Amino acid sequence: MITRRHVIGSSLALWAAAGGCAAPAVKGRLRQSVSRWCYQDIPLDKLCAAAAKMGLQGIDLLQPAEYETPRRHGLRCTMGYAAELMTIPNGLNRRENHDAIERAFRVGIPQAAKAGVPNVIAFSGNRRGLSDAEGAANTVAGLNRLKPIAEDHGVTICVELLNSKRDHPDYMADHTEWGASVAREVGSPRVKLLYDAYHMQIMEGDLIETIRKNIQWIGHVHTGGVPGRHNLDGTQEVDWRAVARALADLNFQGYVAHEFVPQGDPLTALEQAVRICTV
């Protein structure tokens, strides 16, 4: 029986035998990275080595204990977790969470800064009966407590936009306008949005025009094939090269992190995504 672990192991062996990359790494106008959780069966060191040979610049969504691993390969953690207690359902939209979140960020943001991690993730939390207006006001209040910490250490807090239609029912930050209104109200260069294009395609579509309209509030971007959150290939409804080109034409200075669950050979799928988004 051929297992998923066997396929990944075989792909790593072939990757190494070929010098770690099927073709030379290519350069483009965007800085690309890859989300760790999508490649959990590949040891982080090996994922970093493969990513570096593809021309990626970092690994997304690492815990502080993992921050140093990408640095051994000339990469960085491009998005870190600064507060484990802040989860997708339980976030900034409830004031009773703010004290604990602030305590965690007072530890987590300096850790990120010391390791050269430019961004840390944050979540709105689920509605649970809260109106969007009240949730936004609460989120602004929470971010206003956190922004001096982020500003002092040069680390950007990115509130992630997620779909509530399919993957995260009841999540509040499920439209770009809600997130942009929060970021606008906070008014800090260290508080931005994590624009997850997979999630926003599901919720609202119109990706390129939405990105153009809100680029000043977008600090980080995630990819993922729609439907299914799989490879960025011809089975998907999004023209990822066009999205990448729009970001590059806007002189986007953040990272575009690939956050899809690969089908087939995982490293080949990742390299394909990197090349599609190299513009």
| Cα separation, 177 vs 149, whole angstroms | 25
DSSP 3-state percent helix, strand, coil across the chain (nearest 5): 45, 15, 40
Does 11 fall in a domain?
A: no
Q: What is the pTM of this model?
A: 0.91
So what's the pLDDT on residue 21? 41
Does 4 fall in a domain?
A: no
- Residue of 160, 177, 204, 209 with catalytic role: 160
Compute mean pLDDT per 10 residues along the chain, 279 residues long, and list them: 38 40 65 97 98 98 97 98 92 97 97 98 98 98 98 98 98 98 98 98 98 98 97 96 98 98 97 98
So what's the pLDDT on residue 66? 97
Which structural domain, as residue segments, surrounds residue 36? 31-270
- The number of domains in the chain is 1
So what's the pLDDT on residue 27? 80
Per DSSP, the three-state class of 33 is strand
Does 92 fall in a domain?
A: yes
Q: Are 109 and 153 in contact (CB under 8 A)?
A: yes
- Residue of 66, 96, 177, 259 with catalytic role: 259
Does 103 fall in a domain?
A: yes
So what's the pLDDT on residue 22? 42
Does 163 fall in a domain?
A: yes
Does 235 fall in a domain?
A: yes
CATH of the domain at 260: 3.20.20.150
Structure tokens at 177: 């306008």
Our answer to whether residue 160 is catalytic in this structure is: yes
Our answer to whether residue 84 is catalytic in this structure is: no
So what's the pLDDT on residue 84? 83
Does 17 fall in a domain?
A: no
Q: Are 91 and 82 in contact (CB under 8 A)?
A: no
